[in-house]
């Protein structure tokens, strides 16, 4: 596994327009998502002192975390993303002093050991050198601290729309593959298509019974970000522990209706930078399918929750 991955800091080093699409095109995070984290943290002996929002992007989730935690560390490798986060948090929060900002990759984070009560990492861990990022994050946690990692991948749509959506996403991914080393692309996509089952939560570091929750998978064992025919179809790498709690379900909070502008915002919320003509051809086809209406979509969600034991 590469030890000097700087992909995220370049792909996501974007200003307001990208994050505008991100706010529109990514899921409206339901209150149940945060409450699940808070409940788990409280019932496992966690304190609501300091939470580290790893790969925080433009800071929207950091704002929510500040409602329960005394201090929120907002970290991201992309300086422009942190600029947007400072602006958003400064405008939305009357308690700006509750936040501190760190422009760094989690692999390079120099926070003291056992210094945070929770690690919160949403849609970011797959961009990292996974082994190193997990080791650094684990070291930061206090005893009874919570490691919360989640992925909501790419949305799935009604059967009439999904094939054309897959085709557009695959063409956009082809552009990313041209701009990044092949090994990095394959590693990142494999971690996502794996639904984070490849992430180990060893009982030497975490209490037995770590939770692995999968929502709205609809028969897909992972939160796949590629069309089935585009996936390498390799073995499903599992580091699920013998005492890990495997849970699954369907939650309507992650379902939504979307029109063509919503689809445009969603594809614009990923760091693709595709050929504009190619993108417009695909969006035009989707617009024809929708015929001025909407389609139903949902977000597949993988959540890992574990408690620091040493």
Provide the residue ranges of all domains of the chain, joining segments of one domain with +. 7-157+183-257+299-307
Q: What is the pLDDT of residues 122-170, one digit of tens each?
A: 999 999 999 999 999 999 999 999 999 999 888 999 999 999 999 998 8
CA distance 18 to 268: 7
Contact predicate 72/53, CB 8 Å:
yes
Other CB atoms within 10 A of residue 284 CB? 11
How high is the pLDDT of residue 3? 35
Pairing of strands 99-103, 71-76: parallel
Place of tokens 């749509």: 157
Instruction: Tell me which residue of 126, 166, 90 sits closest to 11, measured CA to CA.
Output: 126
Burial (CB < 10 A; 0-12, 13-18, 19+), residue 91, is exposed
**CATH 3.40.309.10 for domain 7-157+183-257+299-307:** no
The pTM is what?
0.91
Using 50, 70 and 90 to split pLDDT, how confident is the model at 55? very high
pLDDT in tens, 67-84: 999 999 999 999 988 998
Evaluated on CA atoms 135, 99, 104, 56, the torsion sign reads positive
Structure tokens at 261: 């502008």
180 pLDDT higher than 90: no
In sequence order, which residues have a C-beta less than 8 Å from that of residue 163 and are 6 or more positions away? none
- Average pLDDT for 236-263: 94
Residue pLDDT, tens place only, 183-229: 888 888 888 888 899 999 999 999 999 999 999 987 765 556 666 65
Closest listed residue to residue 306, CA positions, set 244, 247, 248, 249 = 244
> How is residue 111 annotated by DSSP?
P
């Amino acid at each position: 596994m590469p030890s000097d991955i700087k992909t995220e800091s370049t792909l996501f080093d974007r200003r307001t327009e990208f994050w505008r699409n991100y706010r529109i095109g990514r899921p409206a995070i339901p209150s149940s998502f945060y409450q699940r984290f808070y409940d788990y943290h409280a019932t496992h002996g966690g304190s609501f002192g300091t939470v580290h929002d790893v790969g925080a992007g433009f800071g929207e989730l950091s704002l929510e975390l500040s409602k329960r935690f005394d201090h929120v560390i907002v970290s991201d490798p992309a300086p422009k993303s942190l600029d947007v986060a400072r602006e958003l948090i400064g405008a939305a929060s009357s308690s700006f002093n509750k936040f501190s900002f760190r422009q760094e990759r989690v692999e390079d984070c120099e926070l003291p050991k056992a210094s945070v009560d929770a690690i919160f990492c949403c849609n970011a861990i797959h961009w990292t050198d996974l082994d190193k990022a997990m080791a650094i994050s684990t070291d930061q946690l206090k005893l009874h601290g919570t490691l919360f990692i989640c992925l909501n991948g790419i949305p799935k749509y009604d059967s009439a729309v999904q094939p054309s959506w897959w085709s557009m996403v695959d063409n956009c991914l082809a552009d990313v593959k041209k701009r990044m080393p092949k090994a990095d692309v394959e590693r990142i996509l494999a971690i996502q298509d794996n639904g984070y089952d490849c992430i180990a939560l060893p009982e030497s570091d975490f209490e037995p019974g770590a939770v692995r929750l999968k929502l709205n998978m609809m028969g897909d064992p992972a939160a796949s970000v590629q069309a089935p025919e585009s996936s390498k179809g390799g073995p499903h790498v599992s580091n699920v522990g013998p005492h890990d709690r495997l849970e699954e379900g369907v939650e309507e909070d992650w379902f939504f209706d979307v029109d063509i502008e919503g689809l445009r915002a969603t594809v614009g919320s990923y760091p693709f930078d595709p050929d504009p003509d190619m993108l417009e051809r695909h969006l035009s086809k989707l617009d024809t399918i929708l015929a001025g209406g909407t389609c139903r979509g949902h977000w597949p969600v993988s959540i890992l929750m574990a408690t620091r034991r040493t």
